[in-house]
Structure 1
Amino acid sequence: LPTSSSSEDFHESSSSESSDGTSGTPTLEPVPSPVPEPLCWEM
């Protein structure tokens, strides 16, 4: 129970701020996807 709650708490903390509306999906997608991918590939 404490393990599952900890994992969900951590994930919800990041999406909790954007969970207010629909800013959670567009904020998490265009940040860790189009940033570390092109940077890693260029290097």
Structure 2
Amino acid sequence: MNLEKRVKVKRLSVYFFLLNFKIRILRLRIFQKIKSFEIQSRF
């Protein structure tokens, strides 16, 4: 039972880490898109 709990917690932490990573990448992409859009609209 205790071991099972640990495995679940580990899995959850890995899942959250991946989720955080994806969100960060998405945010970077959106930021770059906005930047490029601003540059395009200037010219």
Q: Give the TM-score category using the shorter length.
A: 0.3 to 0.5
* TM-score, length of structure 1 as denominator length: 0.39
* TM-score, length of structure 2 as denominator length: 0.39
* Bigger proportion of residues as helix: 2
Work out which of the two has the higher radius of gyration on C-alpha atoms and give 1 or 2: 2
- Ranked by relative contact order (alpha carbons within 8 Å, sequence separation 6 or more), the top structure is 1
